[in-house]
């Protein structure tokens, strides 16, 4: 099998694939304009968030048999269309969970104690101690929207810090010790709200002006899931009105953003989609990608 690596993948696991007999070419800087001319020669591809696999690309790749997405979501791939063409699409849903959960908890602590502002004043050579009376997160209620692998990991850490945890997920029936509630109840009761669900037609703009109106005054929002789930204009209005005390955002409707107004607010902290950006997560992603492709190739071989 010929495999094209389109996004950053750890070298150790590329060599594992080669040792297993796969022909692996690395073009982790390949552009969307180049892909239609290059990909038709390959049986499989490895992508991360950067590379999008849409219907027009699939249509010019009759040899494509497998797509492996290193990460938790499939929103960058026209999954149903690929499936209709007989292409197997896989991802690595467990590999990033701990890293994204830790970023979420870190963001909650930063918001609770205004650490980003305190650090900025110190860099400006200001000793402004009286301005930074914060809150403990112990005893506060965290509402998790989307209770899959990352939601579970986030809940486990939040419980260890003494938080109360609610979750909303219509596809989950086993809460594992936390309380599953309706979305409106979660919005009304939570001091912090964290999103951990994929972006789909149903979840796009799922949190907008109507949902913000149902939240507590002074709620804090963390989105390390996908851009576009929270309506950014509605979030901006909620932040400037004081309804939302602070927000931490790792993902955006457009990446990189073209409208930076939200990110320039004093009560917003942000990062450039780094939820999975740890050495440990990258290693787990690479290992899982290699394992899936090697097993796929073996299963294709005639008995």
Same domain, 50 and 61: yes
Determine how many CB atoms are found less than 10 A away from the CB of residue 11: 9
Same domain, 84 and 213: no
Same domain, 31 and 143: no
- Residue 102 falls in the annotated catalytic set: no
The CATH number given to whatever domain includes residue 173 is 3.40.50.720
Q: Residue 301 has what pLDDT? A: 65
Same domain, 220 and 126: yes
User: What is the rounded distance in angstroms from the CA atom of residue 1 to the CA atom of residue 100?
Assistant: 33
Which member of 69, 152, 199, 273 is catalytic?
A: 273
pLDDT digits 0-9 by tens, 202-257: 999 999 999 999 999 999 999 999 999 999 999 999 999 999 999 999 999 999 99
Two structure tokens written together for 196: 């951990």
Same domain, 54 and 113: no
Instruction: Report residue 67's pLDDT band, with 50, 70 and 90 as the boundaries.
Output: very high
Percent of the chain residues past pLDDT 90, beyond the cut: 88
Same domain, 47 and 141: no
Query: How many domains would you assign to the chain?
Result: 2
DSSP label of 92: -
Determine how many CB atoms are found less than 10 A away from the CB of residue 149: 18
Q: What is the mean pLDDT of residues 139-154?
A: 96
Same domain, 203 and 290: no
Same domain, 101 and 227: yes
Two structure tokens written together for 114: 């205004």
Contact 69, 76 (CB under 8 A): yes
Same domain, 111 and 226: yes
Q: Residue 249 has what pLDDT? A: 98
Q: What is the mean pLDDT of residues 47-51?
A: 90
Which member of 226, 232, 284, 288 is catalytic?
A: 226
Question: Which residues lie closer than 8 Å to 303 by C-beta, 6 or more apart?
Answer: none
pLDDT surpassing 70 at residue 59: yes
Angstrom CA distances, 29 to 47, 213, 300, stand at 11, 43, 29
Q: Residue 76 has what pLDDT? A: 87
Same domain, 223 and 287: no
Going by DSSP bridges, is the β-strand pair 192-195/141-145 parallel, antiparallel, or unpaired? parallel
Angstrom CA distances, 226 to 101, 191, 197, 205, 232, stand at 14, 21, 7, 11, 12
Q: Residue 174 has what pLDDT? A: 72
Q: Which residues pair with 223 in a beta bridge?
A: 195, 249
Two structure tokens written together for 185: 């109840």
Determine how many CB atoms are found less than 10 A away from the CB of residue 5: 25
Same domain, 89 and 103: no
| Nearest Cα to Cα of residue 87 among 126, 124, 54 | 54
Same domain, 8 and 44: yes
Q: Residue 141 has what pLDDT? A: 98
Q: What is the mean pLDDT of the chain?
A: 94
User: What is the rounded distance in angstroms from the CA atom of residue 7 to the CA atom of residue 45?
Assistant: 9
| Domain span at 111 | 97-270
Q: Residue 93 has what pLDDT? A: 82
Contact 191, 140 (CB under 8 A): yes
């Amino acid at each position: 099998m010929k495999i094209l690596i389109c996004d950053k993948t750890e070298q150790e696991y590329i060599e594992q694939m080669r040792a297993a007999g796969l022909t692996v070419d690395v073009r982790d800087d390949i552009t969307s304009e180049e892909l239609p001319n290059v990909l038709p020669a390959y049986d499989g591809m490895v992508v991360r968030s950067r590379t999008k696999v849409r219907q027009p690309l699939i249509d010019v790749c009759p040899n494509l048999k497998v797509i492996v997405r290193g990460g938790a979501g499939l929103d960058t791939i026209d999954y149903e269309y690929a499936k209709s063409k007989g292409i197997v699409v896989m991802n690595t849903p467990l590999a990033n969970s701990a890293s994204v959960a830790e970023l979420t908890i870190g963001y909650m602590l930063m918001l609770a104690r205004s650490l980003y502002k305190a650090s900025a004043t110190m860099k400006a050579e200001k000793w402004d101690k009286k301005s930074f009376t914060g809150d403990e997160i112990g005893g506060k209620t965290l509402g998790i929207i989307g209770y899959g692998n990352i939601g579970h990991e986030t809940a486990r850490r939040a419980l260890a810090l003494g938080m109360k945890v609610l979750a909303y997920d219509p596809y989950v029936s086993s809460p594992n010790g936390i309380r599953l509630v309706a979305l409106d109840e979660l919005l009304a009761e939570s001091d912090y709200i964290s999103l951990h669900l994929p972006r789909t037609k149903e979840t796009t703009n799922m949190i907008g002006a109507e949902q913000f109106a149902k939240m507590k005054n002074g709620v804090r929002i963390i989105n390390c899931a996908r851009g576009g789930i929270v309506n950014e204009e509605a979030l901006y209005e909620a932040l400037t009105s004081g309804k939302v005390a602070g927000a931490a955002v790792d993902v955006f409707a457009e990446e990189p953003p073209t409208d930076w107004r939200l990110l320039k607010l004093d009560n917003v902290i942000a990062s450039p989609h780094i939820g999975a950006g740890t050495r440990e997560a990258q290693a787990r992603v690479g290992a899982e990608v290699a394992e899936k492709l090697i097993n796929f190739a073996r299963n294709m071989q005639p008995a």
